[in-house]
A and B are shown apart, each in its own frame.
Chain A
Amino acid sequence: MKLNYLYAVLMILGFAACQKLDQEPKSTANRSAVFGSEAGLQLYANSFYTMLPGNATTLDAMSDYLAVKSVPSFIQEGAFAPSLSSGWSWSELRNINYFLANCNNPAISLDARKHYTGLARFFRAYFYFEKVKRFGDVPWIGKPLDVSDSALYNGRDSRKLVMDSVLADIDYATANLRPNLDATRSTVTRDVAFALKSRICLFEGTFRKYHTQLNLQATAADWLNNAAAASKVLMDKGSYTINTAGGLGNSYRLVFTNPTPVATEVLLASICDLTLNVLNDANWWWTSGTYGAKASFTRTFINTYLNLDGSSFTSNPNYKTTLFKDEVKNRDLRLKQTIRSGNYKRISGGVQVAAPPLFSYTFTGYQPIKWTLDDMYYDAGALNINSIAMIRYAEVLLNYAEAKAELGTLTSAEWAATIGVLRARGGITAGLTTLPTVADPYLIANYFPDITSPVILEVRRERGIELCAEGLRFSDILRWKRGPLMEMEWNGFYVPSLNTPMDLNEDGVLDVAFYQGTRPTPAVAGVTYVDVSSTISGKVNSQKLKDGTSGELTWMNEISRKWNDKQYFYPIPQNDLLVNPKLGQNPGW
């Protein structure tokens, strides 16, 4: 009897238990929930944005115009090998392809599906653009592959095939993204797609034009025309202008330091906001002696900033021996918004303090301030609240001007509407409305020996200045096929003599002095003394003067930087090639 009860209880428990063995997750979503509503598509699409370089300000650490604390091994002779290569990562692509393969629920309006498909394809175009820039030929993969799919072991597809697909993707995005504007400039809109298209097409057009070994020159014009056309859409639309708020001499830098994106000019930005606890590390990176690359501009590049009257600074016969305090005067107003100079001041504990170039940071004297906030509070860690512009209207104008210049069809009116506008913001008063006619010998000698067109030369000058330290320079060098620029000497301002303290910002306080061997005594209070001996305790000193005891500062000339044609593409990383030998290695690696 007693055991009968037990048995009955057992049976009941047993059946109850079996049902409990079916358990479903409740704290995660399933596929039908994510792809069954527009909100779900939005939820998923939010994951694409992590692909964008939140803080692109550091990318130019590898460029010709910034001297950094150590030579990137990629351009150091004998230092780079496929074993050190990286960037062969494809998870972002799969994330997009998975979305595209599932964004097909008829319960969602066609318009919405097209919009989100356009968004995904925008990011796929972005993804492949980056891959092609880095590696050249890459495999084209248009769907989430099964792990047993033999396509995983395919070789690479031709650049032509891949870039045609990229164009198809970005064209789909420009046609199907909803045309509404995002006032916060934080999300991808149809306008952003046009801007990206202009960037991609300019890259591809010029790349094909100058990299003749690809045998794709014949198609270069199509891409350039596409670049111009995409830019033109935005120019005609009139939604954007070059920012002039903040006044002459400030409006340029405001675009980079304002907490919220300057909506007139910025199309897409990485947003920072203290209240939402999203911050960037620009001050830390650009001011710390250890954290960042200690990047500062070379004199060769600073020399390209025009005088206010539109003339070339280097046309002055004494430009080579002009002192820092003088050479920053009377120049394109963007110069003083780009480097510490003149009466630039920082804020320490709420008080304005003079801020001449600081030789505990800079190697050349041309210390960047484009992205940094003036308050020193932001220097110690990732504390910056300025939103970082990723695509802005100035680039669109430059893309237009360059594409047309390369096509040989840029008119004076178009010059005025593009380069002219940008130079006007720099306070330049002449040459704004007519095409240049004189090829600047300085640009030819130092930068583009093969270019004879004054228009192309000036467009490239303008692009270098306007977009400096925005992470686009290295890809410009690649597409112009001007890799040897990476070998350019890292030089700094002119030092007339040793042991002579200099006042860099003319505030009456001496700032820096250069010496060799023993530091002059007595030391002048407040002066940073920099040893420019050829060796210090038996080791080569990286900081020297060009003519021994006077001349331009030089930095790290003892390390040879070398550009070979193979460097136009990164090598396929050693381990990835071992896994799939069919990928083949890029030439020369």
Chain B
Amino acid sequence: MKLFLMHHKKAFFIGTFIFIQALITFLPQSVYAGLSFNYQQTIPSKISGKVLDENGTPLPGANIIIEGLTQGVRSGSDGSYTISVEPGTYNLVVSFISYKTQKVSGIIVGAGQTSIQNIKMLPESATILNEVVVVGYGTQKKENLTGAVDQVTAKALENRPLPNLTLGLQGVLPNLNIRILDGKPNQAPTYNIRGTTSIGQGGSALILIDGVEGDPSLLNPNDVQTVTMLKDAAAASIYGARAVFGVVLITTKKSVSGKTSVTYSTNYASKAPVARPDFVTDGYLWSKMFAEAFVNGDGSFPQNINKTQKFSQAYLNEFKKRSESGAPYNQVEIDPVTGEYTYYGSTDFYKELYKNSNAAIEHNLSVSGSGEKTSFLVSGRVQKQDGLFRYNSDDYDMKNFRARGTVQIFPWLKIDNNADFSVMTYFNPLNVGEGGGIWRNIGDEGHPGSVMFNPDGTLSFSAAYTVGDFWYGKNGIATSRQVFRNTTGFTSNFFSNKLHVNGDFTFRNTNNNTEQKRVQVPYSTSLGVINYVGTTTNDLGIDRRETQYLANNLVADYEDKFNDKHYVKFMVGYNYEQSKYKRLAAQRNGLIFDDASDLNLALGQAITTGGGYEMWAIFGGFSRLNYSFKDRYLVEINGRYDGSSKFPSNQRFGFFPSFSAGWRVSKESFWKVKPSIISDLKIRASYGSLGNGNINSYAFQENFGISQSALILGGVRPQRTSQPAVLPNGITWETSTTTNLGIDLSMLSDKLTFTGDAYVRNTTDMFTVGLTAPAVFGATVPKGNYADLETRGWELTLNWKDKFNIKSKPFSYGIRLTLADNSSKITRYNNPDKLLSDYYEGQTIGEIWGYTTAGFFKDQADIDASAKQGPQMRASPTNIWYPGDIKLEDLNKDGFINIGTNRVSNPGDRKIIGNSAAHYIYGINLNADWNGFFFSTFFQGVGKQDWYPSTESEIFWGQYNRPYNNIPKWHVGNMWTPENTNAYFPRTMSRAASSNTNRTLGIAQTKYLQNVAFIRMKNLQIGYNLPKKWISKVKANNAKIYFSGENLWTYSPLYKLTTGIDVENTGPSDQVFNPGGNSGDGYNYPMLKSFSFGLNITF
């Protein structure tokens, strides 16, 4: 299967050789055919006839076109039509809304003759087999597919107020796994197909927009025609090494034929967080609990609440007195001696942080039409979403513009140009007090007992560290992303449309710019005295990144059918892409005034400059052969030579073949099952192997990165470099081999369709770090091809479509269910001792090792009689154990809680207690139409998933993390006390969950492992198509109004504990700022739910 290591020149010649063969064979004929078009012109010839419906009644208004000629007519009131043509052979295509498109091929029209073609149209049934599916460099009918391919149309995205396309695709296709990290509107998450890809190089799905790699988050969702997922190696291999883990093909809409139509749509949405943390805001209650947690966990009575507020027993006593006397909170008092403010507040910093709701509005306009030889489509969209933050609002704005047009230059040649321009801007406010996300800052310094403002209107110290910075409103990062892309292509056909040669050239410029400003924020702790936070970061930073990308494709295919039995299609092509990235960044401190926004006004000496450069190119030749016998036996062979600049020259090229086959059992003569029971049955199988080209540029070269030193040496902060990463000695490609078995089934007259696929994907020779070397090696162990991974999974799609009459009006409805699962296991890893600190053979990805919680210690006797928890565990600063502390089970009965030798064979008292990977991922789509009303809803969920809340997770651990963190309300009364021994949490104690080395809650254990399975109503739509008689008054053809809701309802077993945590947003802290961080679960921008109203009108 592996034919790598080919020298690149040889590969090139073999690739082109195939192509030359194909061309030479057909060249003379094509020249002849070309000539035959142009020089025979005498008496007009015609094709004419009638278009009839299934009952034989004339069908007026049907579209009749001749393939390759753009010119088309509509049938008249009696269903008749006539088209004048040159003598020749033609294919006629007739289409009418809600009828199947009919095609009549090979109509021979002699000079002066009229060919009569009466066309019978059949209504479009529930069948999806005739659906045309986009595949690599072409399309295919679903009935002929042999690879694992899934597709959704624009319908899945209609009427939804989506800030970006990716949000709309989440959950729509089974096993297309899009993990949205949080609710920020500018999220651009990666697309994963079918589970864990590689623990080495990694890699996600290749995303192609109209055939060219692109960023879906910058695409206008309204422009999308279809989204197709190529899941197995057979379907994806035509795209070579980057497609190793599947391909998502997004095609945009083409102009509609016929008269010009104008569509305008708009919607207005009101959004709000799906979940808000439900924290204690009563200042006294919080302070009391703070002191208790602090005494137990930090070992003394607190003198401060972290950095921003003073604390003492006297203060607490006074607060208690006020609380018990019912005196009003939110009081600020001034100490008569020191002049310092003392706060008896009850502040809800999250209320200060978020608006109650934020609005989003969208306008979309598209104009499309076609003339005799030209067609065009112009679309534009404006989408604005107000920020969620009450102050220093994080506004989001996206504009898209697309212009697309085609010109039929000759009957055999069409030129197409498709240009689009998108601009996205987002403002992310910053905190200068300590940097990082606002949520962590509130956790650290947003104490309920404090206030936002002092009586004189200045900010409190707590506020300046948190929401007050937003209120001051000057700090943040303005992000702007712009993409301009132009694709110019041609399509041509020869030999009566049997040979096609298509090509395109794309250039794309992407600008990814940020401007960051951090000025100091004033606050006051004493009357009349102003201090500042952020004095060290009084700066302006500008970062400009530009990527110039070129792509070029040239593809030829030939298709023919022999003896009405043998269908053959052969395709061959060439692909070249290059990408050049450059960066220029500068930062300087000392802004002359707070509102300065240009670097010229930064006067300080802390100057940082940065460059950046990356260039890669790939080059590939590919071909595909499809063969089918009597539409019964289907075979497809794909192959691609791929070369990539990212690999060293002796490993640059690889050949990636794949095979797939299908058997349409229902077409066999022995198949006697009635179509009304089973109308179609197809069994598919595929096998293919791909190299993993998802790798960083220059990964095989010794790179000395240069950065600025954090130290002052000789009066400056000089640049520095250090030892480069240790390079591996000889490596080879990672390979992923997928075997896929599938079944397509249509039943009950195509009302019920079922598609199922099961697969095994073996990722072998994964490029992973070697066996942990002794630390004296002194560097990260070089990677090598040390590991194998096996991913097994399956996905099912079940569709039901039917209609019946209610009050003599048709009621049609449909149900679509998708279910998918996958699980990955390490089958080889360079860890012979199976140390748990590393991957090991037999490990299931996502498994969680942890202790078994036996409960809480009851009393001293219980402590004395139980296994010794220390020194492995620690429950207090003094290492003394008290009743109410966590008791872990001594599984190995050695009298101590320990980690054994940290090996699978001796894990101490730990075992596998759960798995953090999502399993049984499902989607449920229901829709119905009646008398102009339409309804649809989409649910999405996960059947099985575990979550152990990470360290620094305030939303889960509250003061068990840090004493000054907020307290989730469900903690109150749920902590162990001598009177409440049945509580969920142990005795109150700070820092028990802030470290995962030896703190009792920071390490995974059974009691606090959460079931985060969930079901969420992603979308709900109710709408009405306005009656023709109303809208005809405004000369509209079509108009509808609707309500659409996103994320309206969720259920999860986690919600038995609290609904203050969004089950879909339990990931680590703000990944935009701390990519790769693995703590602070839930310190995140919330996911939003929305209610929207919209209008869609077509003229």
Chain A residues within 8 Å of B, Cβ to Cβ: 1-4, 6-7, 9-11, 13-14, 17-18, 20-31, 33-34, 42-44, 46-47, 49-50, 54, 69-71, 73, 76, 78-81, 83-84, 88-95, 97-99, 139, 141, 144-145, 147-148, 152-153, 182, 184, 186-187, 270-279, 284, 288-291, 294, 348-349, 353, 360-361, 377, 380-383, 519, 523, 525-526, 528-529, 531, 539, 542-543, 556, 558-559, 574-576, 578-580, 583
Contact = CB atoms under 8 A, between A and B. Distances in A.
A201 to B, nearest CB: 25
Nearest to B997: A84
A11 B554 CA distance: 12
B774 A576 contact: yes
Given A6-B501, A10-B19, A14-B16, A147 B770 contact: yes
Contacts of B773: 147, 152, 579
A18 B775 contact: no
B926 interface: no
A43 B706 contact: yes
A375 B154 CA distance: 64
Given A277-B604, A349-B528, 19 more contacts: A2-B34, A2-B492, A13-B554, A21-B644, A21-B645, A24-B701, A27-B612, A46-B709, A50-B711, A184-B715, A186-B713, A270-B711, A273-B712, A275-B590, A276-B717, A288-B307, A381-B434, A381-B533, A575-B902
Contacts of A95: 722-723, 778
11 contacts: A10-B554, A25-B701, A26-B613, A44-B722, A79-B870, A79-B879, A94-B777, A271-B712, A519-B313, A542-B300, A579-B773
B956 to A, nearest CB: 22
| A2, A30, A278 pick with most chain B CB within 10 angstroms | A2
B870 A276 contact: no
A288 B536 CA distance: 19
Interface stretch (B70-78, B100-108, B228-236, B615-623): B615-623
B877 A70 contact: yes
B1059 interface: no
A30 B878 contact: no
Given A21-B8, A27-B613, A276-B606, A79 B711 contact: no
A578 B617 contact: no
B529 A2 contact: no
A291 B307 contact: yes
Pairs of residues from A and B, 9 with the lowest C-beta to C-beta distance, nearest first: A94-B778, A360-B303, A349-B529, A289-B303, A47-B722, A46-B720, A20-B617, A277-B606, A271-B712
A114 B260 CA distance: 80
A18 B619 contact: yes
A380 B434 CA distance: 11
B710 to A, nearest CB: 7
Interface string B553-584: 01000000000000000000010101000010
B781 A34 contact: no
Nearest to A272: B712
A153 B781 CA distance: 14
Contacts of B703: 25, 28-30
Interface in B569-616: 574, 576, 578, 583, 589-590, 604-606, 611-616
A575 B729 CA distance: 27
A271 B711 contact: yes
Interface string B867-894: 0001110100111101000000000000
Interface string B1-35: 00000001100100110011001001100110010
| A25, A93, A148, A271 pick with most chain B CB within 10 angstroms | A25
Contacts of B697: 23, 25
A184 B714 CA distance: 6
Contacts of B27: 3-4
A147 B702 CA distance: 16
Given A13-B576, A147-B781, A34 B712 contact: no
Interface string B895-919: 0001101100000000000000000
Contact of A277 (B307, B589, B614): B589
B698 A25 contact: yes
Contact of B712 (A69, A92, A278, A361): A278
A30 B721 CA distance: 11
| A290, A523, A542 pick with most chain B CB within 10 angstroms | A290
B20 A34 contact: no
| A1, A28, A89 pick with most chain B CB within 10 angstroms | A28
Interface in B609-649: 611-619, 643-646, 649
Contacts of B535: 274, 383
A298 to B, nearest CB: 17
B705 interface: yes
A408 to B, nearest CB: 40
A49 B721 CA distance: 12
Interface in B752-805: 770, 772-779, 781-782
A18 B998 CA distance: 55
B314 interface: yes
Nearest to B300: A69
A96 to B, nearest CB: 9
A558 B877 CA distance: 12
A18 B641 CA distance: 13
Contacts of A98: 723
A182 B714 contact: yes
A185 to B, nearest CB: 10
Contacts of B605: 275-276
B779 A33 contact: no
B973 interface: no
B778 A274 contact: no
Contacts of A526: 337
A43 B721 contact: yes
B381 interface: no
Contact of A69 (B298, B337, B726): B298
A39 B8 CA distance: 39
B525 to A, nearest CB: 9
A433 B913 CA distance: 72
A6 B554 contact: yes
B537 interface: yes
Contacts of B118: none
Contacts of B997: 84
Contacts of A97: 778
Contacts of B711: 46, 49-50, 54, 186, 270-271, 278
Nearest to B772: A579
Contacts of A184: 712, 714-715
| B9, B613, B712, B874 pick with most chain A CB within 10 angstroms | B712
B835 interface: yes
A348 B613 CA distance: 49
Contacts of B722: 44, 47, 95
A79 B872 CA distance: 9
A272 B536 CA distance: 12
B536 A70 contact: no
A30 B700 CA distance: 12
B531 interface: yes
| B501, B583, B776, B779 pick with most chain A CB within 10 angstroms | B776
A348 B339 CA distance: 11
A575 B837 contact: yes
| A80, A153, A360, A529 pick with most chain B CB within 10 angstroms | A360
Contacts of A70: 298-299, 877-878
B304 interface: yes
Nearest to A25: B698
B1034 interface: no
Contact of A93 (B308, B649, B704, B778): B778
B488 interface: no
B706 A289 contact: no
A579 B302 contact: no
B853 interface: no
Given A30-B704, A273-B712, A575-B902, A348 B717 contact: no
Contacts of B964: 290
B776 A14 contact: no
Contacts of B300: 69, 294, 542-543
